[in-house]
Each structure stands twice: as structure tokens, then as C-alpha cells.
Amino acid sequence: MPPEFVLAWITSSVENKPSLTNGGHVVFVKHPTRGWEIPGGHLEAGESPEQALLREVLEETGLHVSIIEWNKEYYQKGWVASVVTTEKPHQNSWQVNDSKVEEIRWWGSVPPVITWTEQEFIDLDNWYSNL
């Protein structure tokens, strides 16, 4: 059964310590009302989870990524993919032409949350660390 939505835990393939607990960085996007979150969205008609994830990440971050592994258990109706990009983490934020994304940034810790919980991001980071 395919998921209703997909999410991306984006790390850099050039980092030696990819998890947040080991000095790594993850890409987060800032939604106008929900605040900082990981990129993702709902599947469109006829789309595979992989196609939806790659489309959503490109739309919301401008990044090209490669899927490493899926976590199909964490959310009841959605899947989270561990994905990598060849872009190096940096201090600057950037923007894309998407009204649902105010800012994109590499974070070395869990960003301030509004809708999401800090525990969700800690759990996903722990999952990623154990891949």
C-alpha cells in the first residue's frame, strides 16, 4: 500500500559526520505557518513514492537528491526517506519559487518548531544514525 505523503531527511554525501548528534547537518524548509519542517508532500495521481519525493524536494529546496533508504514505519500514512545531496552544508539560507517555502537552511541541530515536535526530528535523526 503506497503512502499518502512522503518526507525527506536530507544530508550531504560529502559530510564525514552526517547525523545531527555527530556534528552533521540536515536541510529544513520554513513553511509560512507551520514553521521549520523537512521537505515533502502528498503523492499526485499516478506518482510513485520515489517520484513524489524527488519532485517535492526539487520544488521545495532546488536540490537534486538520491534516495538511500525508506522508513515506512514512523508515520502511519507517510514514508520518510533518507536522502543525500552532493551540496556541502553552509551557513547561508536560500529561497525557491514556492509560496509554501519562506526559507531553506542547513541546520546542525533541531530548529525551532511550531507544528512539528522536537522529538519527531530527534527520532528521525536517531533512525538515520542507525542506518
DSSP β-bridge partners for residue 106: 27
| Separation between Cα atoms, residue 18 and residue 26, nearest integer Å | 8
**pLDDT at residue 1, as a whole number:** 86
CATH of the domain at 98: 3.90.79.10
Q: What is the pLDDT of residues 7-42, one digit of tens each?
A: 999 999 998 878 998 899 999 999 999 999 999 999
Would you call 82 exposed, middle or buried from its count of C-beta atoms within 10 A (0-12, 13-18, 19+)? buried
**pLDDT at residue 16, as a whole number:** 82
Q: Is the pTM of this model over 0.85?
A: yes
| Residue range 54-69: mean pLDDT, rounded | 98
Cα atoms in the Cβ-side hemisphere of radius 13 Å centred on 45 = 0
**pLDDT at residue 60, as a whole number:** 98
Q: What is the DSSP string of 67-88?
A: EEEEE-SSSSSEEEEEEEESSP
Residue 49 C-alpha cell reads as: 513514492
pLDDT at 112 over 90: yes
| Residue range 43-49: mean pLDDT, rounded | 97
**Parent domain of 80:** 5-129
| Residue range 35-56: mean pLDDT, rounded | 97
Radius of gyration for the chain, computed over Cα atoms and rounded to the nearest angstrom: 13
Q: What is the pLDDT of residues 64-100, one digit of tens each?
A: 999 999 999 999 999 999 999 999 999 999 999 999 9
| Residue range 98-127: mean pLDDT, rounded | 97
Q: How many domains does the chain have?
A: 1
| Alpha-carbon separation of residue 49 from 3, 31, 95 (angstroms) | 7, 22, 25
**pLDDT at residue 17, as a whole number:** 77
Residue for grid cell 547561508: 92
